[in-house]
Amino acid sequence: MTQTMIATILLIGLFLVLVFARVPIVYAIGIASLADFFYLGINPMQMALKFVSNLNSYTLLAVPFFITMGELMGAGGVTERLIDFSKELVGWVRGGAAMVNVVASFFFGGISGSSSADCASLGPIEIKMMEEQGYDRPFSTCLTMASSVEGILVPPSQNMVIYTLAAAGVTTVSIGQLFLAGYVPGAVLSLVLMIYSYYYSKKNGIPVTGRFHPKKCMRSLLRSVWGLLAVLIVVVGVIAGVFTTTESAAVAVVWSLMVGLFIYRGFRLRDIPHIFHNVTMTLGKVLILIGVSGAFTYLLTYLKIPENASRMLLSVTGNKILILILLNLLMLFLGCLIEMACLILMLTPVVLPIWMALGLSPIHLGVVMVLNLGIGLLTPPVGSTLFIGSAISGIRIEKLSKAMLPFYITMAAALLILTYFPQSFMWLPEMMY
Q: What does the radius of gyration of the chain's CA atoms come to, in whole angstroms? A: 22
105 located within any domain: yes
- Residue 12 in any domain: the answer is no
Residue 1 lies in a domain: no
Residues 6+ apart with CB under 8 A from 266: 75, 76, 77, 78, 260
The residue range of the domain holding 177 is 43-432
Q: Which residues contact 206 (CB under 8 A, 6 or more apart)?
A: 94, 95, 97, 133, 134, 135, 200
- Residue 240, pLDDT score: 76
* pLDDT of amino acid 249: 84
- Give domain status of residue 197, yes or no: yes
In a domain, 341, yes or no: yes
What pLDDT shows up at residue 45? 86
User: Is 62 among the domain residues?
Assistant: yes
Q: Which residues of 363-396 are buried (b: 16+ CB within 10 A; e: fewer)?
A: bbbbbbbbbbbbbbbbbeebbbbbbbbbebbebe
Task: Please give the pLDDT value at position 133.
Answer: 84
pLDDT at 112: 67
Give the pLDDT of residue 110.
65
Q: Is 264:77 a contact under the CB 8 Å cutoff?
A: yes
pLDDT of residue 208: 77
**Cβ–Cβ < 8 Å for 254, 72:** no
Contact 297, 349 (CB under 8 A): yes
* pLDDT at res. 425: 93
DSSP 123-143: HHHHHHHHHHTT--HHHHHHH
Give the span between the Cα atoms of 189 and 17, in whole angstroms: 34
The low-confidence residues of the chain, meaning pLDDT below 70, are 110-112, 381-382
Number of domains observed in the structure of the chain: 1
pLDDT (tens digit per residue) in 240-264 = 778 888 888 888 889 989 988 988 8
25 in any annotated domain: no
Q: By the 8 A CB rule, do 394 and 138 touch?
A: no
Query: In 3D, which of 210, 10, 228, 190 has the Cα closest to residue 92?
Result: 210
The letter for the amino acid at 102 is V
Residue 26 covered by a domain: no
What is the C-alpha separation between 115 and 377, in angstroms, rounded?
A: 8
